[in-house]
Amino acid sequence: MKPDLPTVLSVLAAVAALAGAVVAVLRLRGRRRIATAMQRATYDVLHTAALAAEPLRGGLTPSSAGKAVRHLRTLVGAVGLTIADAEECLAFDGRGSHHGDQFTAAAQRAVQARRPVVLDSSDLPCDRMDCVVRGAVVVPLTAADGLATAALVAIADEQPAPGLVQATQEAARWAGSQLALAELDSSRERLARAEVRALRAQISPHFIYNALTAIASFVRTDPERARELILEFAEFTRYSFRAHGEFTTLAEELRSIDRYLTIERARFGDRLQVRLQIAPEVLPVTLPFLCLQPLVENAVRHGLSRKPGVGMVSIEARDAGAECQITVEDDGVGMDPEVFAPGRPETDDGQHVGLTNVDERLRSVFGDRFGLVVETAPGEGTKVSMRVPKFHPGVRA
């Protein structure tokens, strides 16, 4: 019987589809594999570690422990895992949470002894028929100072094997390094706040007295000028001693500097000349609070006040692509460059402490490439330059 045309076409279509599938399979087999099993395993470990690192970098709290413990259990490969301090289990993931008091006591022993503790079934008695806990590995989480206040507890459903012990130790060492970095970040923030307080303390003794003296000299002769200076002084001190914000904008810092110079011009009269050259596009740039004002104060106090005759302070801020370049220059008495040598003690009157303070804060926030550059010599004036990135992670006013 001769097949009809539709039947022949159907058979040909099926054969063509099968041939196409065979060719596709051969092509796939001929391609290089996207990733080997080892590469995939490495990716999984690094990705899981990154997920655990983010909360730990905020410090060890019940909240951060709760976000990290699941990922840490994946890294260790335990049936359960907890982070415990001397008082309680901060967070738990997996099986065995009913042994919390025993794990807390074991964590306390491990922290005090500063070494891992391995528990077996005799150390973890339980009357629950469905309990799977047969052992645990307890490893202290060592912080930056070498001390530990908490421990990582990996729970096993059999006698802890050497592999679990080693994996828990490595995970605890890695988690401890993240907590150490969190402490370092916290200490940097505390240092930055302390340095701002130091600058405020530097402002108060010499500037406030001189400002009030200058204002008092106008009370009888020019009451309206005295009133204006009092308002400028009030706004300057309000900005300088504000209680919030580690960063500010260049525009805000320049407003405060303008008030400072207004008061200083009341003291020095025509002896103090000021030249500003500011590119409008850099006014929103964010920089550390009280970062520019000490440079201007140093120019007036240590550069021009000791110079006979007229002195000039020049402040320039210009656009430099991804950065803002700021320069404060005076034509005053200058200084010996050796005063900035490493390990050189400060002078008794605190001279140049503001420059050192600003330099350290710039490097702490933006990196070592962004410290101050000071050009000076006796009798040649002083030029202080800085570069500030227009955008930097974590820096906003």
Structure tokens at 333: 């008495």
Is the predicted pLDDT of residue 213 greater than 80, yes or no? Answer: yes
The band of 186, judged by pLDDT with boundaries at 50, 70 and 90, is: low
Mean pLDDT of 208-225: 84
What is the reported pLDDT for 8?
Answer: 40
The string of pLDDT tens digits covering residues 124-162 is: 999 888 899 999 999 998 866 667 888 999 999 999 999
What is the reported pLDDT for 367?
Answer: 85
- Cα angle for residues 262, 384, 312 (degrees, 5° grid): 40
The string of pLDDT tens digits covering residues 3-18 is: 554 444 354 444 445 4
Instruction: Classify residue 159 as left (phi > 0), alpha (psi -120 to 50) or beta.
Output: beta
The string of pLDDT tens digits covering residues 361-382 is: 888 888 888 889 999 888 889 9
The band of 327, judged by pLDDT with boundaries at 50, 70 and 90, is: very high
- Partners of 89 in beta bridges: 84
Higher pLDDT, 241 or 167: 167
Is the predicted pLDDT of residue 278 greater than 80, yes or no? Answer: yes
Contact 351, 334 (CB under 8 A): no
The band of 341, judged by pLDDT with boundaries at 50, 70 and 90, is: low
Contact 116, 110 (CB under 8 A): yes
Distance CA 153, CA 91 (A): 11
Mean pLDDT of 28-44: 68
What is the reported pLDDT for 145?
Answer: 61
DSSP annotation string for 30-77? HSPPSS-HHHHHHHHHHHHHHHHHHHHTT-S-HHHHHHHHHHHHHHHT
Question: What is the percent of the chain with per-residue pLDDT over 70, rounded to a whole number?
Answer: 80
Higher pLDDT, 244 or 357: 357
Higher pLDDT, 59 or 35: 59
Q: Give the type of residue at 252.
A: E
Mean pLDDT of 252-258: 93
Mean pLDDT of 91-99: 91
Highest-scoring range by mean pLDDT, 174-178, 196-200, 393-397: 174-178
What is the reported pLDDT for 33?
Answer: 55
Is the predicted pLDDT of residue 2 greater than 80, yes or no? Answer: no
Mean pLDDT of 310-333: 93
Mean pLDDT of 195-219: 68
Phi, then psi, of 348 in degrees rounded to 5? -60, -30
